A and B are shown apart, each in its own frame.
Chain A
Amino acid sequence: AAGIGLLVGMNCPKAVKPRDVITGISGRSQILFLVTYVARYLDLLTNFVSVYNTAMKVFFIAASAATVYLMLFKFKATYDHNHDTLRVEFLIAPCALLALVVNHDFTPLEILWTFSIYLESVAILPQLFMVSKTGEAETITSHYLFALGSYRALYILNWIYRYYFDNFFDLIAIVAGVVQTVLYCDFFYLYITKVLKGKKIVLPA
């Protein structure tokens, strides 16, 4: 929530003058996250867990939709098309196919949930690809990525806890969550060794 809130805040027209909108954020990743949250939270309408659960689902969808709108429509001029080029079809298609093959239950909601779990684990790839192409990440982008990466990494601790105390585990969520966290690891290394020391992330050319 902090990461997504940061992004909306930094892209919000009230908060920053249009020219200050942070560059270096991948619009493609933001679209993938929006698709992820919509596909996963369709049960908002059918399955009430708690106020917190519903509130966070609404926040995730609303904030990522706002970010996509601000980046790709309102501040389209500042969006860096040239460096945000990873083909998302090559991420969406395999996730969709895998969701049809490996899932807990062959029902529309379950398939969409599974697709969303697989998609989230690779949704950051366009962003990491863009950082490698631009060769650097703005500090605020680094904070955003760190928050986004640690969100799923912390879930791994929760899954371990629930395995030992509730004897509950969801293998699909765990495998995808581990893959997702591993994808962030090289970024975590850069974040901790550089950004926290006040430096910017500049990747070797």
Chain B
Amino acid sequence: SPTTEGKDEL
């Protein structure tokens, strides 16, 4: 799951 580090969307 894309937790904070993996977030690359607006």
Binding partners A and B? yes
Spell out A's residues near B (CB within 8 Å).
43, 46-47, 49-50, 53, 56-57, 60, 104-105, 107, 109-110, 113, 155, 158, 168, 170, 173
CA distance A49 to B8 in the complex (A): 6
The secondary-structure label for the interface of chain B is loop
- B9 touches which one: A104, A105, A155 (CB < 8 A)? A155
CA distance A110 to B5 in the complex (A): 10
Q: What are 24 inter-chain pairs, A to B, with CB distance below 8 A?
A: A43-B4, A43-B7, A46-B4, A47-B4, A47-B5, A47-B7, A49-B7, A49-B8, A53-B10, A60-B10, A104-B2, A105-B1, A107-B3, A107-B4, A110-B3, A113-B4, A113-B7, A155-B9, A158-B9, A168-B2, A170-B1, A170-B2, A170-B9, A173-B9
Q: How many residues of B contact A (CB 8 A)?
A: 9
B10 touching A105, Cβ below 8 Å = no
Q: How far is the CB of A157 from chain B (nearest CB, A)?
A: 13
> Inside 8 A of A158's CB, which chain B residues have their CB?
9
> Inside 8 A of A168's CB, which chain B residues have their CB?
2
> Inside 8 A of B4's CB, which chain A residues have their CB?
43, 46-47, 105, 107, 109-110, 113
CA distance A50 to B9 in the complex (A): 10
Which residue of B is nearest A59, CB measured? B10
- A56 touches which one: B2, B5, B10 (CB < 8 A)? B10
Q: How far is the CB of B10 from chain A (nearest CB, A)?
A: 6
CA distance A104 to B8 in the complex (A): 15
Which residue of B is nearest A162, CB measured? B9
